[in-house]
Structure 1
Amino acid sequence: MTQNDTASGFEVHGARGAFNAAFFGTMGPYIEWNVRQHKRRVFADLPPTVVEIGSGVGANLRYLRPGSTLVAIEPNIPMHRRLRAEAERRGVHLDLRDRVAERTGLPGGSVDSVISSLVLCTVTDPADVLAEIRRVLRPGGTFRFVEHVAGRSGTPTRALQRALRRPWAWTFEGCSCERDLAGLLRAAGFARVDIEPYRLHTPFIPFNTQIAGVAHA
């Protein structure tokens, strides 16, 4: 484990870290094309400073106004080079923090908005992450999310998610297609949670059952 691994609580795998940075750098436009209408809705009118958990290679920077500040919680160091380049290209000030989402290091009640997309599937404990998001949000602040979730029980999608559980998680650094994130969001103690479930139609079938919405502190 490297010094950065110890500081962030996230162990970067020598092969998978670089693979995922390259994969999302290459496939990002295709993924974005599929989810863009949902992101446009939930990421509309973001404040001047936004916290993002799992910023990756910067797919969501396009939803921030030029001159905004993104506090990026991203422990996967191989993502950092592309993230910095994308922030510069978009004219967004980047405050990059090599930390895990469970321990952002931000003061309590200090944040107007937190965003995430396709991240709660990969964290070790999504309930802990949601508790941390609630802690840092000001009263009236929002957590805006676009995430993929478990398919309905008994469906072919759910069966495929179960069958591919281990290789999918290994390839995508712990990503689980079997989490009931809608249930976790509703149980996390937010004042109100608005969730829209939907389905994509892509070759990545385990990834196609998704939710988008806003949780209000």
Structure 2
Amino acid sequence: MTDIRTGFEVHRARGAFNAAFFSVMGPYIERNVRRHKRRVYAGLPATVVELGPGVGANLRYLRPGSTLIAIEPNVPMHRRLRAAAERRGVHLDLRDRLAERTGLPDGSADCVISSLVLCTVADPAEVLTEVRRILRPGGTFRFVEHVVARDGTPTRVLQRALRRPWAWTFEGCSCERDLAGLVRAAGFARVEIEPYRLHSPFVTFNTQVAGIASA
């Protein structure tokens, strides 16, 4: 079923599965990427825009009393996200919209964050254009994302072999995107990116980047 307001296809089985999966697996994923999130999410401002916050894994990096403008079109995530925000003492402004079309005014955001989201959007280059539009001069886009592995590596072979079932299970998630290259090409004034590798059973997911892009 496609949400006529956002154009996001809500699959009843996959939507519920992913909401449950990330609620259960969230702590495990968080342990693996915590060091990188702590670095790029340090000192977040009082109001933050997050693309695809899901069930609220990044709320822990916001101070109590902060406001999160949450761009989340996946409705099955909303109940858990609201509950997590309430537990963390974060004011939640939940927007049922796509990351490509946030509806926010030009130059209105001090900070936009994402984690494990640019892999799932229909057009990551368009999302990055939207991020630049809504950031004020000097604002930052802070991200932790999984990316394509180097050609010729066993991880790259596995990513290629599993791309279709992986994408179907995780609602369009691609394990074959050069997101570091896309961020560098998006026209930000300054980009800092750290590549790293996880060691988890989810091998296609193990090549990652964390970084900060300044408008």
| Alignment TM class, shorter chain as reference | over 0.9
Counterpart of 1:9 in structure 2: which amino acid? G
Q: 1:165 aligns with which of 139, 160, 163?
A: 163
Q: Distance in 1 between matches of 2:180 and 2:12?
A: 32
Offset at residue 9 of structure 1 (A): 1.7
Q: Counterpart of 1:97?
A: 95
**1:50-199 maps to which residues of 2 (within 5 A)?**
50-199=48-197
Residue identity opposite 1:178 in structure 2: E
| Distance (whole Å) between structure 2 residues aligned to residue 53 and residue 212 of structure 1 | 15
Provide the rounded CA distance (Å) in 1 between the counterparts of 2:136 and 2:119: 25
What is the aligned-residue RMSD (CA, Å)?
A: 0.5
CA-CA distance at 1:154 after TM superposition? 0.3
Q: Distance in 2 between matches of 1:34 and 1:213?
A: 16
Q: Look up the equivalent residue of 1:23 and give its one-letter code.
A: F
- Alpha-carbon deviations, 1:32-66, whole Å to 9, x = none? 00000000000000000000000100000000000
Question: Is 2:189 the counterpart of 1:216?
Answer: no
Distance 1:107 1:43 in 2: 23
Distance 2:47 2:20 in 1: 27
TM-score, scaled relative to structure 2: 0.99
Q: Displacement of 1:8 after TM fit?
A: 1.4
Residue 41 (structure 2) aligned to one of 40, 43, 68: 43
* SS of residue in 1 equivalent to 2:138: strand
Q: Percent of aligned positions with the same letter in both sequences?
A: 83
The Cα of 1:11 is off from its aligned counterpart by 1.3
| Structure 1 outlier segments of 4+, above 3 Å | none
Q: How far apart, CA to CA, are the structure 1 residues paired with 2:148 and 2:188?
A: 22
* Paired position in structure 2 for 1:207: 205
SS of equivalent to 2:70: strand
Q: Deviations over 1:3-25 (max 9, x none)?
A: xx011120100100000000000
The alignment covers a number of residue pairs equal to 215
Structure 1 residues not aligned, in runs of 5+? none
Q: TM-score, normalised by structure 1?
A: 0.98
